[in-house]
Amino acid sequence: MVYGVSLIALTACEEPKVDAAVFERLQQCKDGPGMLADQCEANFNEARNQHAAVAPKYTSQEDCQADFGDGRCEQAPYKTTSGGSVFMPSMMGYMMGSFIGGRRSMTSQPLYRSAKSPNTFRTADNRSAGSSTGRTLVAKSATSRPSFKNTTRSRGGFGSFGRRFGSAAT
């Protein structure tokens, strides 16, 4: 009987899931059933516009690649206050959420993939958005607007040390 109670307790603690849509590319969204092309474009552009502000930031490309993998990092469109380069992971997809109650007003955000779990989409705040594309269920916390990153660290990110990542240079 203790086993049954433990299973119920674990189920009760699980975070609620909400309806969202995850895409690697804009065309995937446009080709999806029930998706409107203008809505897909608006949400993709919203995620792309957030990308430089919310993505994890690194002072070296090597540190970024250690967390996100070779060829998965890019130079940020700005420098540190001392003039140094800033590196961030490439946007690997975007999430539109939420479709709850048939609402069509959705928040959108960029998604990333870490080197440790390259098949799982992660938000800029390192929350899992799952591995499937199209309409899917994600933890409610994953659909919250990512926070602005205002500092750069040499190691910060989803990385092998399990730290929450650093933030963007201003």
Tell me the pLDDT tens digit for each residue of 3-39: 444 444 444 467 888 889 999 999 999 999 888 999 9
Q: 43-61, pLDDT tens digit by residue?
A: 999 999 999 999 999 999 9
List the one residue out of 5, 44, 126, 46 whose CA is nearest residue 35.
44
Q: What is the pLDDT of residue 161?
A: 35
Give the C-alpha separation, 101 to 39, whole Å.
Answer: 17
3-class state of residue 165 by DSSP: coil
pTM value > 0.75: yes
Q: How confident is the model at residue 163 (pLDDT cuts 50, 70, 90)?
A: very low
